[in-house]
Structure 1
Amino acid sequence: MNSPAPDTPALALVDATDVVLIVDDVPDNLAVLHDALDESGYTVLVATSGEAALKLAAQAPPDIVLLDAMMPGLDGFEVARRLKADPATAAVPIIFMTALSETEHVLEGFGAGGADYVTKPIRPREVLARIAAHLNSARSQRQARQALDAFGHATLVVRERDGRRIWQTALARELLGRYFVDLPDHLAPAELMAWVSRQAIRQRAGAEAQTITIHRGAGRLTCAMHPLEDAPASDGQWLIVLREASEAAMLASWVQAFTLTTREAEVLYWVIQGKTNRDIGDILGASPATVKKHLERVYGKLGVETRTAAASLAMSRARG
């Protein structure tokens, strides 16, 4: 076999070539897989230990990983957990290779972040078919993520069973970091995942998912979820779209859109919160009569006649 020396980083990668990292402590297994993948046109990296695999993946992130589950030292399950915890490799599909087909080992592999598994002795044609399928899915997700990043969208994909962020745009990472302090970068917030679980039940029953709004001070983070069509059904992956709004930004948008004064916008805001004229007066330090005059001017500028109509139009503007 004309294969590279084990654990030697291959950093000069061809952009158009998919990179496969094989991790196995048995040289014969590496030889069989390397030859099959090399003949199929893949760029192949090899590692004979978990520690070497993590180092290699950090130097040259692969497109997919074939990972031996049982190795001395750092086993495959722990390697997978660490790869998934690193934003640079979190989206890389992992296929476990194992002679252990017992349910608990299969579940441990999926729990560690594995996308699939094959049993030993390895059948190269089966491995090639599974690699191709997972690479196609990963490629589609990567292209979508790059497009969303380019347009500044705050979007992420979470896995329902363990709350992991499978991938996320830069803006999504920033927003979650601001709204959920000390949250690990690879996990979705517990509050968000509890909502995902409830909405997943609704969607599977044919109902439309509802949004959730998370408040932090004057900031509001609205989350909407959608199924990820090309993800494995057993994975329960969901696309989450985040949108941030603040009360200050909302008031400013009303001032500009409806030519309101700042005080009129404040009165409109508290009307939307269900406050009476007396309540609003107490909040703003004005009399109920003054609040009523402000509100009458708001009605005129919005072209409406009731509190409900004013609130509806203003909220429609805020969502737009």
Structure 2
Amino acid sequence: MLTDSQHSPRVLIVDDVPDNLAVLHDALDESGYTVLVALDGESALQRAAQAQPDIVLLDAMMPGMDGFEVARRLKANPATSHIPIIFMTGLTDTEHLVAALAAGGVDYVTKPIKPKEVLARMQVHMQGARQVRQSRHALDAFGYASITVRASDGRLMWQTPLARELLAHYFGGPATHASQTPAPVLAWLREHLPAAREQHVEPPRLVVESGARRLSFSLHQQLGGEDNTAEADDWLIVMREVSDAALIDSLALAFKLTAREAEVLYWVIQGKINRDIGDILGASPATVKKHLERIFAKLGVETRTSAAGMALGRMRALHPQWEI
């Protein structure tokens, strides 16, 4: 029995028959769960999105929106797609049980409901879901965000809080509220899937730039098949952002440059021409040229190649982990 109410897991029971709710509610409450209830599909979707339960017990046959549709919508929403769903059904025909699993359920129990059986099934699936959730949020804690993408239709099945912030910055706010993967990321994934599937070759990273910030995408692994919580077409992608603001500051200190001169030298190291640097910094190529002349004087060099070489040597000495 669970005793710590502050950390007690939350379960959402969805059933249009109050008597069914009462039986389960009492058994789960006595076992230390925080119990949420919904009498119809629309209420279930709202409660799940707001309360983020650890597991959902879902009646398959309900008037209006049935349990199969509720499950499909929960799985289509990145905010609730990770929640395990156990179907409660009086239907034992194989086609109905297959439909329950196809809609996103991880398991099912048959009516009349036996509370002890439900509790045992819940423990199994909640433990697996908790481990997955903890590992994903651990990535965030160390600066590695993660997303799960369904390659077939491009749906964004899961994103950690850090991933949501990064996608908003690099691809715009609306993309983070939709369930669709940003187009460049999906194109990269689909391009390299044949090699990943057939040859188990890790594809080259996708790198997206935003000023001095870079976001890299690495294909981590294919999901599904082991715990039945994801389809085999779902792929876990790990994201890592690198900001070179500290490098720009180091350039300024090392060579006694102004902040703008350090930015210009940074982009020279990156191989950008004056026109590109001007576009990035919001300046004209002529202004960039004047900054370069002052940089050459301070570094005691005459060409951008020499300036880049000197700066690279200093950066690698100060930041051994840094790569262009």
User: For the aligned residues, what is the CA RMSD?
Assistant: 4.5
| Residues 1:240 and 2:235 aligned together | no
- 5 Å-filtered alignment, 1:288-299, equals 292-299=302-309
* Amino acid in structure 1 at the alignment position of 2:84: P
Contact between 2:149 and 2:236, CA under 8 Å: does it hold in 1?
Answer: yes
- In the alignment, what sits opposite 1:252? 248
Q: 2:164 matched to which residue of 1?
A: 173
**What's the counterpart of residue 148 of structure 2?**
158
Name the counterpart of 2:124.
Answer: 133
Report deviation, 1:67. Answer: 1.3
Instruction: Output the CA distance in 1 between the equivalents of 2:317 and 2:302.
Output: 19
Q: Which whole-Å deviations, capped at 9, do the CAs of 1:273-319 have from their partners, x for residues lacking one?
A: 3869xxx9x8854799x785343354346559xxxxx9x99997544
Alpha-carbon offset, residue 201 of structure 1: 4.6
Separation of aligned partners in 2, 1:224 and 1:46: 40
Q: Percent identity?
A: 38
- Residue 8 of structure 1: aligned partner: none
3-state SS in 1 of match to 2:7: coil
Out of 182, 198, 221, the residue aligned to residue 215 of structure 2 is 221
CA offset at residue 143 of structure 1? 3.0
Partner SS state of residue 6, structure 2: coil
Does the 8 A contact of 2:205 with 2:218 survive in 1?
yes
Q: Which residue of 1 aligns with 2:271?
A: 273
Length-normalised TM-score, structure 2: 0.66
Query: Any idea what the Cα deviations from partners look like across 1:90-142, whole Å, max 9, x if unmatched?
Result: 532222334364388347513xxx4x142644664654443222211222233
Q: CA deviation at 1:243?
A: 1.0
Tell me the matched-pair count.
290
Give ranges in structure 2 of 5+ residues lacking alignment: 279-284
TM-score, with normalisation over the residues of structure 1?
0.67
Structure-2 change in CA distance of 1:123 and 1:267 (3 Å): same
Matches within 5 A, 1:1-320: 14-27=5-18, 29-30=20-21, 33-34=24-25, 37-38=28-29, 40-57=31-48, 60-83=51-74, 89-98=80-89, 99=91, 101-102=94-95, 105-106=99-100, 109-110=103-104, 114=105, 116-118=106-108, 120-121=110-111, 124=114, 127-149=118-140, 151=141, 153=143, 155-160=145-150, 163-169=155-161, 171-181=162-172, 182-185=174-177, 187=179, 188-199=181-192, 201-204=194-197, 205-216=199-210, 220-227=214-221, 232=228, 234-235=231-232, 236-245=234-243, 249=245, 252-253=248-249, 255-256=251-252, 259=255, 261=257, 266=264, 269-270=267-268, 272-273=270-271, 284-285=288-289, 292-300=302-310, 302-303=312-313, 318-319=322-323
Contact 1:22 1:30 (C-alpha < 8 Å) held by counterparts = yes
Residue in structure 2 matched with residue 307 of structure 1 by the alignment: none
Classify 1:270/1:148 alpha carbon distance in 2 versus 1 (closer, same or farther; 3 Å).
Answer: same
Partners in 1 of 2:35 and 2:266 — Cα distance?
Answer: 62
Quick check: 2:248–2:266 contact (8 Å CA) kept in 1?
no
Q: Deviations 1:238-291 (Å, cap 9, x if unpaired)?
A: 142231546xx3761561585474658745634643869xxx9x8854799x78
Q: Could you say what secondary structure the match of 2:61 adopts? A: coil
CA–CA distance in 1 between the matches of 2:5 and 2:79? 19
Task: Supply the AA of the counterpart residue of 1:252.
Answer: I
Instruction: Specify the code of the residue in structure 2 equivalent to 1:18.
Output: P
Structure 1: 5+ residue runs without aligned partners? 1-12, 305-309
1:76 Cα deviation from its structure 2 partner = 2.5
Q: For residues 201 and 94 of structure 1, do their structure 2 counterparts lie closer, same or farther at Cα, with a shift above 3 Å needed? A: farther
Q: Aligned partners of 1:21 and 1:183: how far apart in 2?
A: 29
Q: Any idea what SS the aligned residue of 1:53 has?
A: helix
Q: 1:51/1:127 Cα in 2 relative to 1: closer, same or farther (>3 Å)?
A: same
Deviations 1:25-50 (A, max 9, x none): 24454456446545655343332212
Is this contact kept in 1: 2:79–2:158, CA < 8 A? Answer: no
